[in-house]
Amino acid sequence: MDFKKLHDSNPDKYFLKICEELSELQTAILHYCDGKIEYDSVVEEIADVSIQIEKLMRWLGDFNSKTYNMVFDQVNELEQEKYKKLEEIIEEMK
């Protein structure tokens, strides 16, 4: 998918869509907890946000595969650190 073309055609819309999808996931989680929507609706919003995160990382990587890989690696490294901290918190709860 040509994320750069999508961005260049309307940069404001590109970022507003990212924010919109993040907000929709937040709302879906709240509605799921209240019993207003089903599991599948939350999963659909997670898929949408996953695409938006990809768009954001492509933008941060200046739509270049080499710099995108650097962004991806940084995100992955930080995720691993955060998972480790989360595991420590869970371990302390035992």
Q: What is the pLDDT of residue 94?
A: 85
Mean pLDDT of 65-73: 94
What is the structure's pLDDT at 1?
Answer: 82
Q: DSSP labels for the chain?
A: --HHHHHHH-HHHHHHHHHHHHHHHHHHHHHHHTTSS-HHHHHHHHHHHHHHHHHHHHHHTTT-HHHHHHHHHHHHHHHHHHHHHHHHHHHHH-
pLDDT at 51: 96
| Section 77-94 average pLDDT | 96
Global confidence as pTM: 0.83
**In the prediction, which pLDDT does 89 show?**
96
pLDDT tens profile 10-56: 989 999 999 999 999 999 999 999 999 999 999 999 999 999 999 99
